[in-house]
Chains A and B, each alone.
Chain A
Amino acid sequence: MTTRPTTRPSTRPAAPSATRLAARDVTLAYGERVVSANVDLDIMDGAFTAIIGPNACGKSTMLRSFVRLLKPTTGTISFDGRDISGYKPKSIAREVGFLPQQLAAPENIAVKRLVARGRYPHQSLLSTWSAEDERAVTGALAAAGVEELAERLVEELSGGQRQRVWVAMVLAQETPYLLLDEPTTFLDITHQYELLALFARLRDEGRTVIAVLHDINQACRFADHLVAMKDGRVVAQGAPADIVDAALIQEVFDLPCIVVPDPAVGTPMIVPTP
């Protein structure tokens, strides 16, 4: 049980093994409380990585450290071999985008204007709206399927529409890396699948997607690479088909279950046992 392989070759040979975004020996802590100690994690380029694990296992904290919201107490988060804290804020924000879990739009803002806020790292003091910004915003609205909402006010939208608008905003940032903290949490099941399919599509278009997900079956179906965390440690990582079995779920979630192939797509599906 303790000698679980941490990396195995991905079932998707398309994903290159190079890694630009990586954590090396990082310790993450809120004040005195250490969440993760001495963790290494390489983000697989061009892949859709899902981070799974029980509540408070440190998965969101890990994600936050990758986007400079939490500075590691030891070790470094590096991008292209350089510590991310050494980059200018706007220049790293053109590479790595993030969608937090808690989101609040300014009052009275139209969808298009909110999505345009994603362009901030590409703008300068005097040029806050270029033709390039216009193109990126139009593209992001289309990719997230919210073009017809462009002139509506964000506060008038349903939860599912609003979440897609926020995704459009982070898409407009046009970062090769997209990090999402529980993006599907408050959505109904239809919107959850729509959103996950969108992330898979973005991956197909060449972006690297890393999402914290709660639903293991969804993670297995859509992600190329799973990272399972418990108590701040990476317990296992690899392609879902390679690593997900009853023993892993028992170890990580403390949940007795059987693992069967998903009848629709054949990826691992967990079924808890009584």
Chain B
Amino acid sequence: MNTIVLRVGRYSVLVERRTVLVSLALAGAGLALALVGLCHGASWATPSEVLSALAGRGDSVVVIRDWRLPRVAAALVFGASLGLAGAIFQNLTRNALGSPDVIGLDAGAYTGALFAITVLSGTAAQLAIGSVIGGLLTALLIYVLSLKSGLSGLRLIVIGIAVNAILTAVNSWIELRAELDVAIAATGWSAGSLNGIDWDEVYLPFLIIGGLMLVLVTLSHAMHQAALGDELAVTSGVSLNRLRLLIVLVGVGCTATVTAIAGPIVFIALAAPQIGRRLAGAAGVTLVPAALTGAALLMAADLVAQLLLAPMALPVGVVTTAIGGCYLIWLLFREVKRP
């Protein structure tokens, strides 16, 4: 048998053996990359130094626990969050291209954040709320524009790509019009960057993402059922409208929280669910492999961003955009060729 039944008391779930093994391997890869991330810095630390520093011993406790760990933790958690957001929207649109970074939700969240720093005073709370509202308004706009053709189908994707282009232009315009110091801050951040992240900035986002993940756990079974199509979902007992509303809120929340702190980091949400799905050999777009792949991918991309032109650290978004652009072109080719 290639499936395992996990049973606790009267509760039991059926999982594929391969999905479990691949998930463990992905988690291991993410942690290994995280260890490299903790070792890397102005001076390399050995893994044993890192581990003792994490335990609170040695000379480099401050460097590793207070400077490097928040960045590494942010890469893992934000990567997982983006992977989940991608899986959610790819499930919802039933299309590998239907991820939040492609259809403009990242750009919309970023517009909201820009509004918060240029027009308002740009506190952390304003940034967070601004990006969530920006993301939700963008989702609403795409939904209204594609009402005729329904949620699945290439039309929604094409509309999303157009909305993304428009919002990206709007974002540049806001940056150009802004005061110089604001514009400089915004431009550095517009590429999507984890540079200089500290604990104070990530506590709240981690809590929010954790909460969203818990909500997602309660929705995941219905979400996978809905992948059978609207008709079977309804007739097998899914409350489709309620599910869609909640799942869009969670998906936008996952994207916007990351965008509020790190700026728009593209490609992770697009690629992680598909890579995770193929590795795990799973049916449809599954959540756990998507989250774990997202974490490992963003961690790896952030390492590349730090190492590529060292000692200058690139914004991680530059790396993900460069790789993601090629992947997106390939996906589009495949999508257009599909009958």
The answer on A and B forming one complex is yes
Given the interface pairs A89-B238, A108-B277, A125-B218, the reply to whether A120 lies near B225 with Cβ below 8 Å is: yes
Q: Mark A167-178, 1 if CB is under 8 A from B, else 0.
A: 000000100000
Within 8 A of A (CB), among B222-278: 224-225, 227-229, 231-232, 234-239, 277
Contacts of A110 in B (CB 8 A): 283
Among B4-12, B200-208, B326-334, the one that faces the other chain is: B4-12
Question: Is A69 at the interface (CB under 8 A from chain B)?
Answer: yes
CA of A177 to CA of B43, assembled, Å: 70
Question: Is B120 at the interface (CB under 8 A from chain A)?
Answer: no
Q: Mark B144-155, 1 if CB is under 8 A from A, else 0.
A: 000000000000
The binding surface of chain A is classed by DSSP as loop
Question: Is A34 at the interface (CB under 8 A from chain B)?
Answer: no
Contacts of B232 in A (CB 8 A): 98, 100, 103, 117
CB distance from B142 to the nearest CB of A (A): 22
Question: Is A273 at the interface (CB under 8 A from chain B)?
Answer: no
CA of A92 to CA of B234, assembled, Å: 10
Within 8 A of B (CB), among A86-143: 88-94, 96-98, 100, 102-110, 113-114, 116-118, 120-121, 123, 125-130
Q: Mark B130-152, 1 if CB is under 8 A from A, else 0.
A: 00000000000000000000000
Question: Is B307 at the interface (CB under 8 A from chain A)?
Answer: no
Interface residues of chain A, those whose CB is within 8 Å of chain B, are: 67-69, 88-94, 96-98, 100, 102-110, 113-114, 116-118, 120-121, 123, 125-130, 151, 173
Closest 9 CB pairs of A and B: A93-B237, A109-B283, A106-B284, A90-B237, A129-B14, A121-B237, A98-B235, A100-B231, A126-B11
Interface residues of chain B, those whose CB is within 8 Å of chain A, are: 2, 5, 10-14, 94, 218, 221, 224-225, 227-229, 231-232, 234-239, 277, 281-284
Excluding A89-B237, A106-B284, 18 further A-B contacts by CB distance (< 8 Å) are A67-B234, A68-B235, A69-B234, A88-B237, A89-B239, A91-B237, A98-B235, A102-B229, A105-B228, A106-B227, A107-B277, A107-B284, A108-B282, A114-B283, A120-B221, A120-B236, A128-B221, A129-B13
Q: List 27 A-B contacts (CB under 8 A).
A: A69-B234, A89-B234, A89-B239, A91-B237, A98-B235, A100-B231, A100-B235, A102-B231, A103-B229, A103-B232, A104-B94, A107-B284, A108-B282, A109-B284, A113-B283, A114-B283, A117-B228, A117-B232, A118-B236, A120-B221, A120-B225, A121-B237, A126-B11, A127-B10, A127-B13, A129-B12, A173-B236
